[in-house]
Structure 1
Amino acid sequence: MSANVFETDEGNSAVNDKNQVLVAGDDPIDSDDELDQLMEDFEMSESDDEDDGEQEEKLFLSSSEEEYDEDGIPIEDDYGDNYDFRDALRSAGNFRVKNKSKTITKSTKSYWKRKMMRSTNRELDPEVRQNLSLANEAFVRNDFQVAMNLYLEVIKKDPKNFSAYKTLGEIYKQEGRLNKCCNYWLLAANIHPWDSQFWSNVAELSTELGHIDQAIYCYSRAINSNTSKSSRYILERAILYREKKQYGRALEGFQRVRQLYPTDSNIVKNLASVYVEQKRINDAINLYMKILDYNINPSNTNQAGTPQQKQPKFGWAELNILLELYIQQHSWRNGIKVTKIVARWIQDRTDEKWWDDNDDDSEFDQKRRFEFIDKLSDPKTREVAIKKFYDLPIDIRFKIGTLRLGLGHKDEAMRHFEFLLDETDDISDLYFETGKILEENGYFEDALQFLIKAAQNEEFEGSTELIILLGKCFLETEDYVQAKQAYESLLSIDKDNLDYKISLAEAEYHLGNTEHARILLVEVAAKRGKEDRAKSDKGDAESEGEDHIMDGDHDDILNNSSLIRNEKLTARSKKLTDQERFEFENNAKKKVLEKYRSMKRLEESINSEADEKIAIKTWIQLAYQLLEIFIGVKSFFPRDKNRQFKGIILYRRKQDLGIDEKLARVYNLYAGIGNDGNENYSRQFLTSKVEYRGISYDEWFKIFTQYAILVLNYDHDYENANQMIEISMNVSVFIQDKVKESMLRLVKLIIGLKKNDMNIITTFIRYFLITNQFSPFIYKFFMCCFSSGMVSWEHFTNYNHQKFFLRQLKAFDSIITGKKIVGMATITSDVKDISFKNDHIDLLYVYANLLGGSRSYISSIVYLNRAYKEYNQDPMVCLMLGLAHVHRSMQRLSTNRHLQLLQGVSYLLEYKEATEKEATDYELQEVQYNFGRFFHMIGLTSLAVDFYEKVLEFNGKIDVAYDLSVEAAYNLALIYNINGNSLLARDLTEKYLTI
């Protein structure tokens, strides 16, 4: 049982009656010389039939009706009045086509009759008659080679000999060389153009051989030569036109046949299938609704009083087709409504109006139906209703379940789908379709029971689509053992599919097979580096293929072709309809959510096991695909970033669908979830302002930032992380949210810190300083962004920083004094309700350190004294003030070195005293080291040794990351070496400085 109700073989009875085994390949022309000779014979015979008029010279298809394409432009018939068979032969043999203009006269019955009589009564040359007789005898005794030679001799003498061409075709047919048979029969048919049945036979054989254009030509000649019995040929030709996707001509043919046979349901089905191909779903629905209306109200006239056309009978099969049309149009509610109307009409229950008050399908459910009928007040009505038939065919059950699922009525849909499980007939196709629909809607556990039932049938054994659906459902339901088996099976079919490898890696990871998962992820990652080469290799391969064709044997090509070649139609780009757009977006949304759910499962593992790199790498691969989809939408990247985001605008554009430069683009194009491809959208808003393809913009933002951080920390790929943040900083829906903008800049700053890129650090720390004016935390954060080293020192003490903080300091002073100060910064913080009485210690501290870093110790002391005045118990203020005095005392221009040094020592002692109050081991060690370093710097090494040794006493008591023992040991070793105690210096080196 097929789920596609439009698959039909009606109208092909003549083709289906054949039982021959078709063998492709063999041309009637054994050589170019023979083809040349035949062409000359055909042209020489032209003078023999001058009395026949121009009609015999020109082969044409007459048509009284003009056809139009989808844009309303008249279509010229390929085999119309201007078609010349000899020109077709010349073209097939690569000969020059002659240009000549002939006057065409229309055929009549008397013309064909005269033509047939003249051909029948034609006198044959004695030699021709003799050869023909000998050839017939050889054919009867199956001496085919002798017969063929004799028939060719006949043709040379008499190029219009129908019997010779026809019998040569029969010989090739018996030898299984059907292409040559077909070509000789085509030549014979042109000699007897009135023989419509023979034209039909040639058309059927051409169809079987795949020569569609030639078959269409033959059916056209059959129609032209026998207008009284041409309906079958018109139908066959219309079917071929549909196969060629020439829907306008196919539609015209089906409509002509339907006028002759209005009650034939197969013709209606073919007509509806063309409407569907043309995306005219409404026309197909109206076609069946008219049939339904005629059957329910069988009147000879319509409401306007005009006679109605007869219609086929409307039954369950027609309802099944109509419901499929409603499903394609997503008209869920209308489909259910029509189902109830038709079911009540067929089951003689049209008077049961009481069911309309219930928004369910209880009238088709035995238990609920009888419960409802028992509540009816009229006993007679109850008695009649109980006896009525109410059950539905299984196909209709499936369709109603699909419609209910479309409305979101999952419970009601499952009631219908459960009927499928009780069915005893083979309905494996419906099991598959049900599982597929449930999986699309996210009901994975329910989908599994139907997909497993379908897998038990031989029809679906080895079905790739079924295995893919099973693999997805097993992953979603966390049955990783079965998921692993499914994706291993898929990889055995397509070993290079990257989606399968990523899904298998996820299953292996959850099963604990981390090594295999790692190998799979390495293979996926390696694919990225090979894409450019694959693209160039593809181009080279195409060129080689063309060279091969050019160098090949021309006869091999001819042996597989027809005299009338199939025309390759160039598909014109079309604007997608609203329905096509909806289908594309719905499919893309499903694929995106599928990957997103896999990422969420992996996220749980990442959060619980921070060191699990396999889960992280799998998450990165999936995230990369989603980000490529998001980045492909131009509407997220407007030229004017300040313009409010209103939704995604997709433009009409074309794009090559070959292998792309990026791995994720390959994934998306293969899966059908790219943003461009063949979707020539007209410009309009298509999406919500809060989500894109089922994922909110907050979640998209999280994917961007988390991807960048994971790539930075685990792959150490600074460029990739930086590029992704740069892209996200241009996304309007992110940058218009100040919180998201700040987060992106923070991640950018983190990248700069990881890479130790001072340009990035300096640029983005300034943003936080401006947006968080006078924030103590931000000032501390500023100090932490510059690590030790000459490069960091140069950027920290940059004159621009000094100027910036001076302007901020003046702005704060203006708040305290209530006066504007020349050179102050603009106050952006809301300080109206805040009362400031004291100086800003953090601001003073930062600015003093900037001055001290550039060796402006006097200026640094001035600002540190302001801080010390109100915060003299702050250890860091005391430390920096003491060091500023010490460094000033060591400068050449110091007026009183000793007094300056003594002043510095006093502040350092205050620092020591303030720090040691309730100090931790970390703080105590730091104090000892700072004093050791101070005495070491001014040359009092004996005092420095005592402090350094006290630092070493903390070794092993505190965290290694914060232990200063290594620095102290190194400094001690330098002192001992300078003083000649190399043995003790060696001991310190071996104990503290050796790994």
Structure 2
Amino acid sequence: MRLSTASQMFLREEYHEAKKLAVEIIAINAETLEAWTLLATIWKELGRIEYAIFCLMFAAHMRPKHLEMWFNLAEFALEETGDKRSDFLFHAQFAYAAAIRNDTTSVKAHIGKARCYVERGKPTNALKEFHAILDLKPHDMEILEEVAMLCIDMNNVTPAQELYRKSIAYLRGSPDTTSSSFSWTDVDIYLELYGYARQYDEAIKELKSLARWLLGREEESFWDDVTADDREWDASNTRRLAIDAFERDKYPDSSYGPGLPIELRVKLGLYRLHLYSPEYKRHFEFLDPENKTGENRVANNPSLCRKVADAFSDFSLHGSALRFYKPLKEIVEENTASLNIQMGKSFLKEKFEDEAEERFKEAIRLDDSDTEARELLASIYDARGEEKSAFDLVNQVCERKRLQEPEPDLPRPPPERKKRRHRIKLASPSVRMTPEILEAQCHTIKTKLEGMRNGDAEATKMWIAAAQLLTQEFRNVPSFYPSDRSSMARVYGVGDLSLMAARLGAELSDYATDPKNIPENYRDISVSTWLDIFMEYAICLAKRGEQQESYEIVEAASEAIVFCYSREYKFQIHLCWCLCALISSDDHTLLAIARFFLKDYQFTTDAYRVFAALARMNNAPVSWYNSGPTQKFVLRQIKIMDYTLVDEESRKQNFVEKAAYSAVDENGRLIINEDLDISLLMLYGYILSTNNSFQYALNYFLRAYAADPYNPMIHLTLGLTYIHDALKRQIENRQHSILRGLTFILRYYDVRSESQLIEERLEAHYNVARTYHMLGLVHLALPYYWKVLNEGGEDIKEDLTIDAAYNMQTIYMMSGNAEMAQSITREFLVI
């Protein structure tokens, strides 16, 4: 009765009342299957997908032998979860696995489980499951197709090739299977495996053999010996007659060249092209790009024509590529920005600049957001000497990239900085600050500066008010923020575009062309004084908790043309920016801005030390210090450093692209490293260590150790890394790792304990004691703690006495020696 009532409520969309009644039914009898399924449906309508899945899972467990229950659960997790599908893939996989446990012969369950593995990024497990499916359903072409795609994703096509070969051998040996079990589509998929592996000779052999089989000429095996050309698949018999074994009238002409699908013919041509065999020309001519036959084959096969054209372009056969691109342009659906860009590139290579220009303009007309066409068009104008047109295009590229992508230096913009600062509207000359007001504000800035720095509330208030007016006055000067400079500042990425932008900007900007044109003062105030006001004002705003406003002030300074061309001013601005982020505990902005030092002072040891110091001073968690973007950025610096330290052969094997250097000296020349930078290696090792990736960190610490084997800090770091790795739950040889760690710790101690500085000796005693303490070897830790207490005293900059005494108190209390713990407390821990 209750179940019927609940169902009626559900139909009337009284979901909450129906839910209460369903829960009441389950409370009476938890094994009421219908109540669980009804409750699942109710939760679905209420938008609580996770609760619905739990209800279906309970229901399935009540009827474990009924596979449909498990299938319903799996299908719900896959089809009803919307954008949360990935969160419930495991539930679907669990359901299919449960169905398999109850019926190991269920192909549907195995297929579902395999596809869940694929979607969850576990290809090895998926491949094992597909093998199980093929044991139950051998030679199934749909399953083999999924295996082929999976093996391509795994970058290992050998397993799929073997399975296909077995199935093909079976089907060839069985009667009446040609048309029903193996089709041209299957041939195409099978050949993709060989093409992906670049096994072009094998691909050609397999293609010919399978096509011959499907066309009913399997007996003509003598064609396997004709490998130099593809005369077997010519449209006419002219070349075939030169083969003695060929019998002209034994098979119809349609079983030769005309019978080969054009998709496979193009594939055969591509394989010949990769083998640099002129035979490819015969195959591609079947597409008839000039439409000599009147059949308009390009219009019927535009994707094949585009594939051929792109292949020609990849092989630098640009004239041939244009033959196939041109008919595609006449097809409305194919006349895309991408096609015009490819045509333009080919025209450029063939030295037809005017035609290339037209194609790039057409691409821009078809897709206004495109940046590649603008870059290429800019390069044409630049080569012609039309700097203004080239620079305008570069600025358009920068603007579109800014709109399309997040800034690379800010991996995740903070919530309050989602939008870029809009420039303040320039004031008209009639409302500019008068000389009298300007002088009064400058007087306030000078007289209240000391009080502001000392924390005087009234002085701070007056100083900030004056600084706000003065910075506003400065920001309202149009010549300080020209459009060219603001566009240049938004050049994204490195390479030819940024270099072109910098060069063109230098040619077009009066300021960049002649540094003498940059004023040394404004309104009788030096530029350096203006910068000091900006920086002090930004720091004051950060201290007041106005984080966004402080960032805007620093950013305004960074964009001003009187500051941005000075290396010294840029350094001060970014240092202030970091200080504002430190005050605001904004770790991600801090580390993003701190990358400036690593980029502009690349391969400078102090730059890496500054980066590490800023990260250390920050009070926020280490999440942004060891985040993925930071790891990738620092690792990229290491790769760039390593690039020049290896020979050409190693570069080809280990580096995908040429290193991108960014640091320049005062004369604008690139600075290229000549040796390993130990600080950079240690910095990346520390980032990995804080992420508990100790094994990976050891690689970089050991590289630093090889370069400087007597550095006590490297010894200490290596020792702690080995020991922390040994304390992880999964470790192959814990004892061996601990011994290695202690070896480096004691080497560190041997050097540090002999130091003339008492602080370094105390540090050595404490670190060894703390290491033994961490390992639970307190009887070995206590003697070193006692050394700290015995050597400690007054006038020590970094006294570790309290730390050591506290640890000793803990050890003695845990060992039951309360009297000793009290004695240490009274002597060292009572203030």
Q: Which has the higher contact order (CA 8 A, sep 6+)?
A: 1
TM-score by length of 2: 0.45
TM-score by length of 1: 0.39
Greater helix proportion: 2
Q: Which has the larger radius of gyration?
A: 1
